[in-house]
Structure formats: structure tokens, C-alpha cells
């Protein structure tokens, strides 16, 4: 199986990075092919603009979506984007590994999706979305560390239900492009937890990964 891990944390010693290491070790030991995209280490550019294309179809008015479609049709994406797209196409399972910032993913990871999940390549509102999506044969899951506690992200908690907060990512982005969205793994209040709790999260993640084949997609 081909595994693509998108890791978005600027600190290699962070707990989010430790979770990433667990996934890399798990799949490597299983004999899977692992491709790690450490976006901060790569200095990945999250800003979509004219540089994403080898040529522009309309020099009078820049429409990013239309230029994405043009590049998809004419195979004229920039070389750095082609490399990311190739990694996505090859993957059977994609893991998004990130800390929850402002109830969502860090900007560098959001920018990866803005640029890589291009119009025409990853989706088309007319005939390439949800059940008929381009990536309907791929599985995806999020591994997330949070600043708040489990209770804070519960129904009635001060931050609201974590499942509702993740809906724009799970449904509006991943499922929209056809992916089979698996239940996320969450490490609560990681930056304030003691070593025993953190070790428990790491062991829990190993178990979560071991059971992925039996996990039921959210949609």
C-alpha cells in the first residue's frame, strides 16, 4: 500500500511530530511505501498564484480556477505542483498530521490543498465530486493534536463539538473530492499533558492505525 503523510508542524520536537513518526514507523514496518511531505521542512509555498502555471491562458484577467482547469487540460502546472499531484495520485491512504489552529488546519496545509487539489484535477462541480469524486478509491484520515481538552470540544463544550468543527475539512474538502474519510485520531491538550498521558496517546495511535482496515468511513 502507498501511504502519503502530509505533516504540518514547524517544530520537529513537537508532539504532533511525534505522532507523525509513529505513523511513518508503523507503515514502514508493515512493508508499505511511505511518502512523507513535511511541509515546513520543505518550505512549501502555500500561496496559489500565477507561478503555479507554466503559461497563462488569459493575461488580461487572472482567474485562478480557470487557470487550474487550463493547466489540467494542457499538463502545464508548475513542476513543484506536478510532484505533489503525482504523490497524491499514487497514494492509497493519505494522513493529514497537524495541530488544530483556530479550529482548523495550519495555513501551510490549507495552502497545499488550495494549490494541489486543483479544479479539473481533483474535482469538478458538474461530474467529479463526492461519490463520483476523482479520488473515490483513496482513504484519508486526520491525526490532530489540540490545545483544548476533550470536554472543551464536546457537545456543549466551550469550543463546540469537534466533529462539527472538522466538518469543513472532512466533508467540504476531503469527501467533496471523493475520498473515503476515516475517523480522526485526536490527542487532546497535548502541550499541557504529562509524559504518561502523551505516551498513552502514542500507544493509542498505534492501535488506531492497526485497526484502520476495519474503520468505517464517516460518509
Catalytic residues: 147, 153, 159
Distance CA 68, CA 203 (A): 42
What separation in angstroms does the CA of 34 have from each of 38, 48, 143, 201?
12, 26, 16, 22
Give the residue among 120, 189, 177 at the shortest CA–CA distance from 153: 189
192 CB-side CA count, 13 A = 7
Would you call 142 exposed, middle or buried from its count of C-beta atoms within 10 A (0-12, 13-18, 19+)?
Answer: buried
Look up residue 172 and give its DSSP letter: I
Amino acid at each position: 500500500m502507498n501511504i502519503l503523510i502530509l505533516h504540518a508542524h514547524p517544530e520537529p520536537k513537537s508532539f504532533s511530530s511525534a505522532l507523525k513518526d509513529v505513523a511513518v514507523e508503523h507503515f514502514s514496518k508493515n512493508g508499505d511505501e511511505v511518502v512523507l511531505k513535511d511541509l515546513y521542512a520543505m518550505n512549501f509555498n502555500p500561496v496559489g498564484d500565477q507561478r503555479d502555471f507554466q503559461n497563462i491562458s488569459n493575461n488580461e484577467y487572472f482567474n485562478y480556477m480557470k487557470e487550474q482547469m487550463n493547466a489540467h487540460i494542457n499538463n502545464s502546472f508548475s513542476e513543484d505542483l506536478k510532484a505533489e499531484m503525482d504523490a497524491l495520485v499514487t497514494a492509497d491512504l493519505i494522513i493529514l498530521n497537524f495541530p488544530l489552529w483556530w479550529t482548523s488546519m495550519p495555513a501551510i496545509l490549507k495552502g497545499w490543498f488550495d494549490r494541489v487539489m486543483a479544479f479539473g484535477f481533483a474535482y469538478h462541480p458538474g461530474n467529479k465530486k463526492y461519490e463520483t469524486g476523482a479520488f473515490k478509491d483513496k482513504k484519508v484520515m486526520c491525526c490532530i493534536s489540540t490545545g483544548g481538552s476533550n470536554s472543551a470540544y464536546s457537545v456543549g463544550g466551550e469550543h463546540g463539538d469537534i466533529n462539527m468543527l472538522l466538518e469543513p475539512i472532512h466533508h467540504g474538502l476531503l469527501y467533496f473530492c471523493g475520498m473515503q474519510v476515516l475517523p480522526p485520531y485526536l490527542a487532546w491538550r497535548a502541550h499541557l499533558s504529562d509524559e504518561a498521558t502523551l505516551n498513552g496517546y502514542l500507544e493509542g495511535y498505534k492501535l488506531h492505525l492497526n485497526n484502520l482496515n476495519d474503520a468505517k468511513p464517516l460518509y
